[in-house]
A and B are shown apart, each in its own frame.
Chain A
Amino acid sequence: MYTYNDFDDAFVRERVAQFRAQVDRRIDGSLTEDEFKPLRLMNGLYLQLHAYMLRVAIPYGTLNSAQMRQLAMIADKWDKGYGHFTTRQNIQFNWPKLADVPDMLDALADVGMHAIQTSGNTIRNVTADHFAGAAADEIEDPRPVAELIRQWSTDHPEFQFLPRKFKIAVTGSPNDRAVTRAHDIGLRMVRNDAGAPGFEVLVGGGLGRTPMIAEVINGFLPRADLLPYLEAIVSVYNLLGRRDNKYKARIKITVSETGIDEFRAHVDDIFQHLRGEFTGLDQQMLAEIEQSFAAPTFRKAAVDKYDNARAEGPAFRSWSDTNLALHRAPDYAIVTVSLKAHGATPGDATSDQMRVLADLAERFGHDELRISHEQNVILPHVHKSDLPEVYATLRDHGLATANIGLISDIIACPGMDYCALATARSIPIAQEIATRFDELKLEHDIGALKIKISGCINACGHHHVGHIGILGLDRAGVENYQVTLGGDGTETAQIGERAGPGFPADEIVPAIERLILAYLGLRQHPDETFLETYRRLGLAPFKAALYPEKEAAHAA
């Protein structure tokens, strides 16, 4: 994977030293909070309900074992022994003390990590397919391009004060696991008719208050044109984007108010001019970056240990059915480690679990780990013969829950348990749904289902693109949960439809249960997923299940 060169290292160290001085000046009173706030946000430090929170970027979700161990060390030394992995492939520490943060940042720099541009109106951490470099369906590993974008956007002088934050996602697969259509810019690798690799460029997607699915601004952008084209898009946005109204400042509003055709024309103008200014240095850089992402040498060995373990152990079989994905090397598998044990906080890992994952990556996984936007951890390259041992180790540490892609594999943002912007809690709802369906023993029967929960309209929990989305609101001083149905974050992206009035906290889980039981009765066969059934039948039968008393009133 990419390791910092001297320039990267010096840059990050200098930023830590600057921030250390700023923290000192804040503590001795020479900086006011108004002066300090933008500085701490630039370094990923937020103030939440109960404490500060440090958000650390995990570029394109890739970590090695040394980095994972360092995160565990930081969690133990300066936090409460755990970390929270987020939908943007970041990790958040929920309990740092202000005076300790510079030391935490230095410890991160020791392993080539930082918290820069995890906040503010800048280009944020670039996210990527969490199966990048491993997936069988991939055209190319998208991470070299993601790294190129990271280098281009980090501290880019023109783009430190954009109208609003800016998020880019990249995927190298036709199956979109990176939610590219819900990003300010989404990049999907494609090949043109001649077989040359390039990108389909999507622009103006986003969730939040005004959810929108991105539109195609360019159906085929040659690979070499990527940076000048991105720079053209961000420049047009920087000029046209609204700064008068925070709620209208994201590029999705700019694109929809300008119209995609006119927006594209502006971009093309600037692009023609910029293309000449990029003299190929970016392509040289890309070629160098690509070398550090060279695929590991995959081992050839018998896989009968795996076949035997499957034949003999139902628990192992169930786990391997659910948590493994197809690897591009035939004897390998991609392992998704669930951070969603029934009743646990989605996305949380203890420092012990982090160390176990680091050890497994080192022993069995070519030293690679990934964090998914679905808040799980991935061992991207495991030889099938090692899977029984990997499974046994995971099981000993509460990491072998066989639920990937199922009803208890819920995305939940921190909500009002931590987040200062929240209007209601998300975590307890996720915990209750997972626990309830575990009791019912229906999870595997229900099959593929994505529930996503946000604790406010900002939609960090991606509720709009959940097959079932839940949005926590404050209705007259009481927590209230609104349900959306039929959302989809993949290549067939769609914004979910609001089902009707919200439910109080003690009624939301029974409502979800009614909804699921209705689906089980409505599906044509066990392989018809919730989303397929919803697309076939529409909202009405599901609405009837959610609001039975209304139905009864109609019938009366």
Chain B
Amino acid sequence: MSRRPFTPKVVTANALLEGDAVWLTEDDRWTRDMREAELITDEAVADDRLLFAIAQPDVVVGAYLVDAESGDQGPGPSHFREAFRTRGPSNYAHGKQVGE
């Protein structure tokens, strides 16, 4: 029986104090820039990293694993919802798209 191949993922969440989107890096930091995130290609590692994230309730809220693609500058979103989270809303220049 063959298992479905594991699609690469990142761990993401919202910051507790500001509420904005953050991603988990390889060196255990939370970054506001998805391109710095750790792209996880192994399922067991992914589960482990998610547990690590969930164990930080005083830093982040609602951590989850989500599909990501590898790009020239680092991991990027594969779904439009995640793409919006890297930028901010489309009706105003607010949020990450203007470095907030």
- Chain A residues in contact with chain B, CB under 8 A? 26-29, 32-33, 47-52, 80, 94-95, 97-99, 345, 348, 416-418, 422, 425, 427-428, 431, 474, 477-479
A-B contact pairs, 29 of them (CB 8 A): A27-B58, A33-B61, A49-B21, A50-B19, A50-B21, A50-B85, A50-B89, A50-B96, A51-B18, A51-B20, A51-B95, A80-B92, A80-B94, A94-B89, A95-B94, A97-B18, A98-B18, A99-B17, A345-B91, A345-B92, A416-B80, A417-B90, A417-B91, A425-B90, A427-B89, A427-B91, A428-B90, A428-B91, A431-B91
Other A-B pairs beyond A29-B57, A80-B92, A97-B17, 9, CB < 8 Å: A27-B58, A33-B62, A47-B62, A49-B85, A97-B18, A98-B16, A417-B91, A427-B91, A479-B80
Residues of A within 8 Å of B62, CB to CB, are 33, 47
- Complex interface residues of chain B between 47 and 69 (CB less than 8 A to chain A): 57-58, 61-62
Chain B hits for A425, CB < 8 A: 84, 90
**In the complex, what residues of A have CB within 8 A of residue B4's CB?**
none
Evaluate contact between B90 and A52: CB separation under 8 angstroms.
no
Residues of A within 8 A of B96 (CB): 50
CB distance from B64 to the nearest CB of A (A): 12
Is B19 within 8 A of A48, CB to CB? Answer: yes
Q: Are A50 and B88 in contact (CB under 8 A)?
A: yes
Chain A neighbourhood of B58, CB < 8 A: 27-29
Q: Which residues of B contact A26 (CB under 8 A)?
A: 16
Name the CB-closest residue of B to A424: B80
CB neighbours (8 Å) of A345 from chain B are 91-92
B8 → chain A closest CB, angstroms: 16
Residues of A close to B90: CB separation below 8 A: 417, 425, 427-428
Within the assembled complex, what's the spacing in Å between the Cα atoms of A50 and B100?
Answer: 10
Complexed CA–CA distance, A417 and B78 (Å) = 17
Q: Given A33-B62, A425-B90, A478-B80, A50 and B16 touching (CB < 8 A)?
A: no
Asked if B79 is at the interface of the complex by the 8 Å CB criterion, the answer is yes
In the complex, per-residue mask of B21-43: 1 if CB is within 8 Å of any chain A CB, else 0: 10000000000000000000000
Report Cα–Cα, A33/B14, bound state, in Å: 12
With contacts A345-B91, A417-B89, A417-B91 known, is A47 near B57, CB below 8 A?
no
Residue of B nearest to A343 (CB): B91
Provide the residues of chain A in CB contact with B88, threshold 8 Å.
50
B3 within 8 A of A: no
Nearest residue, chain A, Cβ from B94: A80
A342 to nearest B CB, angstroms? 14
Are A47 and B80 within 8 A (Cβ)?
no
Q: List chain B residues, Cβ under 8 A from A422.
A: 81
Q: Of all chain A residues, which has the CB nearest B95?
A: A50
CA distance A51 to B92 in the complex (A): 14
Contact of A47 among B14, B94, B95 (CB under 8 A): B14
Give the residues in chain A near B20, CB-CB below 8 Å: 50-51
Q: Report A-chain residues with C-beta under 8 Å of the C-beta of B89.
A: 50, 94, 417-418, 427
Give the CA-CA distance A431 to B92 in the complex, in Å. Answer: 12
Complex CA gap A478/B17 in Å reads 31
Chain A nearest CB, measured from B60 CB (Å): 9
Residue in A closest to B21 when the chains form the complex, CB atoms: A50
Q: How far is the CA of A120 from the CA of B56 in the complex (A)?
A: 26
C-alpha gap A406/B67 in the complex (Å): 42
Closest A-chain residue to B58, C-beta based? Answer: A29
Contact (Cβ within 8 A) A32 B57 = yes
Nearest opposing residue in chain B for A99, CB measure: B17
A50 shortest CB reach to chain B, Å:
5
Contact of B19 among A47, A348, A427 (CB under 8 A): A47
Q: Roughly how many angstroms separate A95 CA and B92 CA in the complex, as a whole number?
A: 12
Establish whether residues A51 and B91, one from each chain, have CB atoms under 8 Å apart when the complex forms. Answer: no
* Docked pose: A345 CA to B78 CA in angstroms: 27
Q: Chain B residues near A428 (CB, 8 Å)?
A: 90-91
Which chain B residues border A48 with CB–CB below 8 Å? Answer: 19
Give CA–CA (A99, B18) in the complex, Å: 9
Q: Shortest CB–CB separation between residue B33 and chain A, in angstroms?
A: 14
Whole-angstrom distance between the alpha carbons of A99 and B17 in the complex?
A: 7
Closest residue on chain B to residue A48 by CB atoms: B19
Known: A50-B89, A417-B89. A33 touches B94 (CB 8 A): no
**B78 proximity list for chain A (CB < 8 A):** 477
CB-nearest residue of chain B relative to A478?
B80
A477 and B80 in contact (CB under 8 A), knowing A50-B95, A428-B91? yes
Chain B residues with CB under 8 A of A97: 17-19
Give the chain B neighbours of A95 by CB distance below 8 A. Answer: 94
Beta-carbon nearest neighbor of B67 in chain A? A477
Q: Are A477 and B79 neighbours in the complex by a CB distance under 8 Å?
A: yes
Are B91 and A27 touching (Cβ within 8 A)? no
Expressed in whole angstroms, the minimum distance between the Cβ of A263 and any Cβ of chain B is 38
Instruction: Please state if B17 and A98 are interface contacts (CB–CB under 8 Å).
Output: yes
Chain A nearest CB from B94 CB (Å) reads 6
- Considering the complex, give the chain B residue whose CB is closest to the CB of A95: B94
Report the minimal beta-carbon distance from A287 to chain B, rounded to whole angstroms. 45
A395 smallest CB distance to B (angstroms): 23
CB contacts (< 8 Å) of A98 on chain B: these are: 16-19
Question: Which single residue of chain B is at the shortest CB-CB distance from A430?
Answer: B91
Q: What is the distance, in angstroms, from A288's C-beta to the closest C-beta of chain B?
A: 41
Q: How far is the CB of A179 from chain B (nearest CB, A)?
A: 25
Other-chain residue from B14, B17, B84, B94 in contact with A27 (beta carbon distance below 8 A): B17
Shortest distance between the CB of B13 and any CB in chain A (Å): 10
Cα-based distance from A510 to B3 in the complex (angstroms): 44
Cα-based distance from A418 to B20 in the complex (angstroms): 11
A49 cross-chain contacts in B, Cβ below 8 A:
21, 81, 84-85
From B18, B62, B78, B91, name the one whose CB has the most chain A CB atoms within 10 angstroms: B91
Q: How far is the CA of A48 from the CA of B89 in the complex (A)?
A: 11
Contact between B91 and A52, CB atoms less than 8 A apart: no
CB distance from A28 to the nearest CB of B (A): 8
How far, in angstroms, from A536 to B17 measured CA to CA in the complex? 55
Q: A98 CA to B15 CA in the complex, in Å? A: 10
Docked pose: A330 CA to B3 CA in angstroms: 76
| Measured CA separation A29–B89 after assembly (Å) | 30
